[in-house]
Amino acid sequence: KRQEKNIRQILLERLPKDIVSLLQLAGQTGQELDVAVYAVGGFVRDMLLGIPNDDIDLVVEGDGIAFAQNLGRKLGARVRPHLKFRTAVLILPGGQKIDVATARLEYYEYPAALPIVELSSLKMDLYRRDFSINTLAIHLCPPHFGRLVDFFGGQQDIKDGVIRVLHSLSFVEDPTRIIRAIRFEQRFQFKIGGQTERLIKNAVRLNIFQKLSGARIRHELRLLAEDSAPLDAFIRMRDLGLLQEIHPLLHFPQTKEALLEEIERVITWYKLLFREEAPDIWIVYFLGLVSGFDTHQVQALTSRLRFPPKRIELVESTRRQLRYVAMQLAQWGKNGGSAADLYDILSPLSLEGLLYTMAKQRKLELKKAVSHYLTHLQDVGILVTGSDIKKMGLEPGPRFANILRAVKRAVLNGEVRTREDQLKYARRMAASLQGQEPKAVS
Ligand code: CTP
Question: Which of 130, 164, 219, 228 best tests ligand 1's pocket when mutated (most atoms within 8 Å of CB)?
Answer: 130
pLDDT at 362: 93
Provide the pLDDT for residue 435: 59
Nearest CA to ligand 1 atom 27: 42
**What mean pLDDT is predicted for residues 108-113?**
60
Q: What's the confidence (pLDDT) of residue 133?
A: 98
At the top level of CATH, the class of 3-160 is alpha beta
Question: What does the pLDDT average to over 238-250?
Answer: 95
- Categorize the per-residue pLDDT at 14 as very low, low, confident or very high, splitting at 50, 70 and 90: very high
Q: Residue 167 — left, alpha, or beta (φ > 0 → left; ψ -120 to 50 → alpha)?
A: beta
Share of the chain above pLDDT 90, in %: 84
| Residue 117 pLDDT grade (very low, low, confident, very high; cuts 50, 70, 90) | low
* Amino acid letter, 151: F
Tell whether the model's pLDDT for residue 437 goes beyond 80: no
For residue 40, the ligand 1 atom closest to its alpha carbon is 15
- The confidence band for 338, taking pLDDT boundaries of 50, 70 and 90, is very high
Q: Residues enclosing ligand 1, CB less than 6 A? A: 41-42, 55, 129-130, 134, 174, 176-177, 180
Whether residue 123 is predicted with pLDDT greater than 80 in this model: the reply is yes
pLDDT > 70? residue 118? no
Q: What is the pLDDT of residue 429?
A: 87
Q: Give the Å distance between the CA of 130 and the centre of ligand 1.
A: 7
- pLDDT for res 247: 96
CATH superfamily, domain 252-379, is: cca-adding enzyme, domain 2 (1.10.3090.10)
Residue bearing the CA closest to ligand 1, atom 22: 42
Q: What topology does CATH give the domain 162-245?
A: Hydrophobic Seed Protein (1.10.110)
pLDDT tens-place string over residues 206-216: 998 988 999 99
| Arithmetic mean of pLDDT over the chain | 93
Residues 6+ apart with CB under 8 A from 66: 33
Q: Which residue, judged by its Cα, is nearest atom 18 of ligand 1?
A: 42
Number of other residues whose CB lies within 10 A of the CB of residue 304: 16
Strand bridging mode 87-91 / 78-82: antiparallel
Tell me if 278 sits within 8 A of 270, measured CB to CB: no
Of 72-86, 107-121, 382-396, the one with minimum mean pLDDT is 107-121
CA distances (Å), 258 to each of 4, 263, 280, 288, 355, in order?
48, 9, 20, 10, 15
* Residue-level pLDDT at 110: 60
> At residue 296, does pLDDT exceed 80?
yes
Calculate mean pLDDT across residues 357-369: 96
| Between 218 and 392, the higher pLDDT residue | 218
What pLDDT shows up at residue 395?
81
Q: Where are the domains of the chain?
A: 3-160, 162-245, 252-379, 386-433
User: Of 262, 293, 15, 23, whose CA–CA distance to 138 is shortest?
Assistant: 23
**In this structure, what is the dihedral angle of CA atoms 120, 121, 124, 128, given to the nearest 10 degrees?**
-160
Residue 257 has a pLDDT of: 97
Q: What is the pLDDT of residue 274?
A: 80
Q: Which atom of ligand 1 is nearest to the CA of 184?
A: 28
Q: Report whether pLDDT(148) > 80.
A: yes
pLDDT at 106: 67
Predicted confidence (pLDDT) at residue 400 exceeds the cutoff of 90: no
5 DSSP 8-state letter: E
Confidence label for 171 from pLDDT (cuts 50, 70 and 90): very high
Contact 10, 47 (CB under 8 A): yes
User: Which pLDDT score, from 0 to 100, does residue 104 have?
Assistant: 80
